[in-house]
Amino acid sequence: MFARIAAACLSTAVLFSQSAPAVAAYPDRPVRIMLGFAAGGGADIMTRWYAEKLGKLSGGTFVVENKVGASGNLSLEAAGHAKPDGLTLLFSATVGTAGNASLFHKLPIDVQKDIVPIAGFAETPFVLVVAPDAGINSVADLTAFIKAKGARATYGAATGSAIAAAALYLNAIGAEATYVGYKATSNAVQDVTGRQIDFAFADVVYATGQARQNRVKILATSSGSQSPNLPGIPTLKETTGAKTGDIVAVWGVWAPTGTPPEMLQQLERWTLDITNMPETQKFLTEQGATPRPLNAADYKANFETALGAWKDAVRIGKIEVQ
């Protein structure tokens, strides 16, 4: 009797194991990371660092897709309209989510409903750069130069956030300059170095690398307080008395709304673990970024604060909404 019961139990177990679907470990397929910036720029450098580390921690594959165009809105659209299965992520910052919500009349997605923040990892201000051989050594020098040159003065920017930083600066000094648009920050910085344009606002990660090679000179940051990674570099608030000047990118990981909670929680843990690694802290600092590990709740709160700050920046800087 006992033998027959045991055999029946064994048969049932075998049948169950054959019919029940196996629970696959996440991620069981390559994960696409949407990024609204060109390859080789500061955002791309940081994103690829995290993509590699995520692959090592998870045993999976994370692939960066540079969705360049429309000031980052193409990457927002790709992420917000993707299937919420954990296989599409967005690497963006509050300047690309909260900022674009104020800089554009209509976005391809609702950044408050269609995507959710997973974790934050770094803060990067924008920096004001000029050519090292332009004879301009301070914001005061540049201000005098712009006022003397008038509307013939030119500046470059590749993102809505850089345009906002420039608008706040020009509004603070009561001057005008002609805007020259670029698809990538690297192109704007290259034209500063070549003296085709007079100044530019660039992300600190890319600009720091260029400054080390003496291709540009950093005059000021767009952050509310001085960056610990740029000793001696003042803020625009300090140098111009601007009413606002806290244009910083708080970088993080996002996913389409509806992504399973267990996947979001795992990605949150991995992102925070990577950010707290000594090698990542060293990497971010050397790039000019400030490590800022934020859990999902804190990153969401940061995003909501940024929504209000960007509305103020657009109003004070008299920025034309696109």
- HEC secondary structure over 269-291: HHHHHHHCCHHHHHHHHHCCCEE
In terms of phi and psi (left: phi > 0; alpha: psi -120 to 50; beta: otherwise), the region of 318 is left
Distances (CA, A) of 73 to 98, 103, 121, 263, 314: 12, 11, 21, 25, 18
Please, what are the domains in the chain? 31-123+248-316 (3.40.190.150), 126-240 (3.40.190.10)
pTM for this one?
0.78
As a whole number of angstroms, the distance between CA 66 and CA 75 comes to: 8
Residue indicated by tokens 């580390």:
53
Q: What is the pLDDT of residue 3?
A: 46
Q: What residues contact 109, with CB distance under 8 A and at least 6 apart?
A: 76, 77, 79, 80, 81, 115
- Beta pairing, strands 62-66 & 88-93: unpaired
* Inter-residue contact 112 to 257 (CB < 8 Å): no
As a whole number of angstroms, the distance between CA 315 and CA 41 comes to: 29
Burial grade of 162 (CB within 10 A; 0-12, 13-18, 19 or more): buried
Report the run of H or E that residue 250 belongs to, with start and end: strand 248-256
Q: What is the pLDDT of residue 158?
A: 84
Residue indicated by tokens 């470990």:
25
Burial grade of 124 (CB within 10 A; 0-12, 13-18, 19 or more): buried
As a whole number of angstroms, the distance between CA 221 and CA 248 comes to: 9
Q: What residues contact 295, with CB distance under 8 A and at least 6 apart?
A: 119, 268, 272
Structure tokens at 276: 């707290």
Quick one: which of 110, 159, 154 has its CA closest to 134?
154
Q: How do the pLDDT tens digits run along the chain, 322 residues long?
A: 444 444 444 444 444 344 434 346 899 999 999 999 889 888 999 999 999 999 999 999 999 999 988 888 999 999 999 999 999 999 999 888 998 998 898 999 999 999 999 999 999 888 999 999 999 999 999 999 999 998 899 999 888 788 888 988 998 899 999 999 998 889 999 999 999 999 999 988 889 999 999 999 999 998 878 888 888 999 988 998 776 556 788 999 999 999 999 999 999 999 999 999 999 999 999 888 899 999 999 999 999 988 888 888 788 777 788 8
DSSP states along 287-310 = TT-EEEEE-HHHHHHHHHHHHHHH
Helices (H), the chain: 2-19, 42-58, 73-80, 94-103, 139-149, 160-173, 185-193, 204-212, 236-240, 261-275, 278-286, 296-316
* Inter-residue contact 237 to 256 (CB < 8 Å): no
